[in-house]
Structure 1
Amino acid sequence: MKRPGRDDDPDRLYTVTGGRSRSGTDAFDLVTLVVSESEPTPGMQSEHASILRICRSPTAVVEIASDLGLPVSIVRILLGDLHAAGRITARHPRTAASADQLPDPEILKQVLVGLRNL
């Protein structure tokens, strides 16, 4: 069984990132929500264009990686490119809500117990 991202040709991943192994920013963790600010343009790298299409509505980094079948580390590099070009915006879900708007930790614990019991 082929594992997306792990069994990909290393040369392909090298080409996709332009040889970079790290993103130039720490702005993207797994749950950062990304939104496109523009449409793909002709001649754009196919992975960048795919990200812009996927992110027409807020989409988490982990979902983008899954949709593209690429490792999160590679997707972070691509997102950094798009962010630097002003083609996407990103925000962490916690920055959108103040502490008093977050769910009660006790309720979250009860939900977790309920899910484990399923």
Structure 2
Amino acid sequence: MTRRLGPDEDPDRLYTVTGGRSRAVDAEVFDLVTLIVSESAPTPGMQSEHVRILRMCEHPLSVVEISAALKLPVGVVRILLSDLLDTGRITARHPRTAARDHQLPGADLLKEVLDALHRL
């Protein structure tokens, strides 16, 4: 049985949205949980999908959340995000990278805190 494509999955529309590209140059940068944040406001003449991404990413959103909100496949969203990253309009950060940058406490300190809580 073949699945019918919805209006947002029309191959002709997806081809137009991506400018005929089938994969992002920096696809490895954008996994499903990579957080995207806008670094600039939309400008006149921008592609409507780029405008929507910039507006929705004023606060960090994951790639999968953007894909769901736009009702576009993740692969297409990665291409759009790649365009925006190349022009400096967004930043992309993986949550693990963000956590590593904020010096998380070591296991010894966490054990000390847990032991202190047990003593209360």
TM-score, structure 1 as length reference: 0.78
1:9 equivalent in structure 2: 10
Sequence identity of aligned pairs in percent?
66
1:101 equivalent in structure 2: 104
Q: Does residue 29 in structure 1 map to residue 37 in structure 2?
A: no
- How far apart are residue 96 of structure 1 and its match? 1.1
5+ residue gaps in structure 1? 105-118
Letter in 1 for 2:20: G
5+ residue gaps in structure 2? 108-120
Is the CA contact 1:32–1:93 (under 8 Å) kept in the aligned structure 2? yes
CA spacing shift, 1:4–1:86, aligned 2, 3 Å: farther
2:111 equivalent in structure 1: none
CA distance in 2 between partners of 1:56 and 1:3 (Å): 31
1:19 equivalent in structure 2: 20
CA distance in 1 between partners of 2:96 and 2:90 (Å): 19
Letter in 2 for 1:31: V
1:89 equivalent in structure 2: 91
What secondary structure, in the 3-state scheme, does the structure 1 residue paired with 2:92 have?
Answer: strand
Count of aligned pairs: 101
What secondary structure, in the 3-state scheme, does the structure 1 residue paired with 2:96 have?
Answer: helix
| Structure ID, larger Rg | 2
Structure number with higher helix proportion: 2
Instruction: Give 4+ residue runs of structure 1 displaced > 3 Å after superposition.
Output: 2-5
RMSD, matched Cα: 2.3
1:38-75, Cα deviation, whole Å (9 max, x unpaired):
01111100000000001000000000000000000000
- How far apart are residue 4 of structure 1 and its match? 5.6
Is the CA contact 1:4–1:71 (under 8 Å) kept in the aligned structure 2? no
- How far apart are residue 82 of structure 1 and its match? 0.2
TM-score, structure 2 as length reference: 0.77
1:1-54, Cα deviation, whole Å (9 max, x unpaired):
x7668x621000000000000000021000000000001111100000000001
- How far apart are residue 97 of structure 1 and its match? 1.4
